[in-house]
Amino acid sequence: MQRDKSAKLLQNLGLALFLAPALILIGIYIIWPIIMSFDLSLYEWDGVSPQKLYLGLKNWKDLLVDSIFWHAFGNNIKFIFLSIIIEMPIAILIAVLLDRGGKRFDAFKSLFYLPMLMSSVAIGVLFKYIYDPNFGLISGILSFLHLDSLNQDWLGDPNVAFYSVVAVICWQYIPFYMIFFIAALSNIPQELYEAAKIDGATQQQYFWRIELPLLTPSIKTACILSLIGSLKYFDLIYVMTEGGPSNATELMATYMYKNAFASFKMGYGSTIASAMFLIITTAGIFAYFVTRRKEE
Amino acid sequence: MSVLSFCLASVVIYSDRAYSASGATKKIVFWHITTDEVGKKMIQNQVNRFLKAHPDFKVEVVPLQNDSFKTKLKIAMGSNQAPDVFVTWGGGPFFEYVRAGKVKDITAYMNENNYKNRFVEAAFGPITYNKKIWAVPVEGAGVSLVWYNKEIFKKYNLKVPTTYDEFLNIVKTLKSKGIIPITLANKTKWPGCFWYWNLVNKLGGASAFEKAAERTGGSFADQPFIKAGEMLQELVKMGAFPKGFNGLDWDTGQSRMLLYTGKAAMELMGTWQIPIVKAEKKEFYEKKLDFFPFPNIKGGKGDPTSLVGMASSNYYAVTTSCKYPKEAFNMIQYLIDDQAVKERIDYGQIPPVKGLKFTDPMLQKVYNIVTKAKTIQLWWDQYLPPQLAETHKDIVQSLFGLTITPKAAAEKMEKAAKDYFKK
For the stretch A264-273, pLDDT in tens is 899 999 999 9
pLDDT digits (tens, 9 = 90+) for B53-89: 999 999 999 999 887 888 889 889 888 889 999 999 8
Of all residues in chain B, the one with the smallest CA distance to A156 is B247
Q: Are A93 and A215 in contact (CB under 8 A)?
A: no
To the nearest whole Å, the CA of B362 is away from the closest chain A CA by: 29
To the nearest whole Å, the CA of A1 is away from the closest chain B CA by: 50
- Chain A residues lying within 8 Å of B188, measured CB to CB: 242
With 0.90 as the threshold, say if the pTM is over it: no
A115 and B CB contact within 8 Å: no
Probe site for chain B from A45, A59, A134, A259 (most B CB atoms < 10 A) = A134
CA B83, B87, B93, B99 torsion: positive or negative? Answer: positive
Q: Would you tell me how many other CB atoms lie within 10 Å of the CB of residue B239?
A: 14
Question: Any alpha helices (H) in B79-176, and if so which ranges?
Answer: 91-99, 107-111, 150-155, 164-176
Distance CA B73, CA B81 (A): 9
Residue A195 has pLDDT above 90, yes or no: no
Residue A101 has pLDDT above 50, yes or no: yes
Residue B9 has pLDDT above 60, yes or no: no
β-strand pairing of B376-377 with B307-310:
parallel
* Mean predicted confidence (pLDDT) in B397-406: 95
Residue A181 has pLDDT above 90, yes or no: yes
Among residues B351, B354, B319, B356, the alpha carbon closest in space to that of B336 is found at B351
Q: Which residues contact B296 (CB under 8 A, 6 or more apart)?
A: B162, B163, B164, B202, B302, B304
To the nearest whole Å, the CA of B397 is away from the closest chain A CA by: 6
- Partner-chain contact A246 B404, CB within 8 Å: yes
* C-alpha A171, offset from chain centre: 13
How many helices and strands, by DSSP H and E, does chain B display?
18, 13
- Chain A residues lying within 8 Å of B186, measured CB to CB: 156, 245
Of all residues in chain B, the one with the smallest CA distance to A259 is B387
* Mean predicted confidence (pLDDT) in B170-198: 96
- Partner-chain contact A133 B243, CB within 8 Å: yes
What's the CA dihedral at B237, B243, B248, B252 to 10 degrees?
-130
- Partner-chain contact B397 A158, CB within 8 Å: no
- Model confidence at A169, pLDDT cuts 50, 70, 90, reads very high
- Chain B residues lying within 8 Å of A131, measured CB to CB: 244, 247
A163 and B CB contact within 8 Å: no
Q: Are B137 and B123 in contact (CB under 8 A)?
A: yes
To the nearest whole Å, the CA of A134 is away from the closest chain B CA by: 7
Output B216-225 pairs: Cβ under 8 A, ≥24 positions apart: B219/B414, B220/B410, B220/B413, B220/B414, B220/B417, B221/B407, B221/B410, B221/B411, B221/B413, B221/B414, B222/B410, B224/B200, B224/B301, B225/B200, B225/B410, B225/B413
Q: Are B288 and B150 in contact (CB under 8 A)?
A: yes
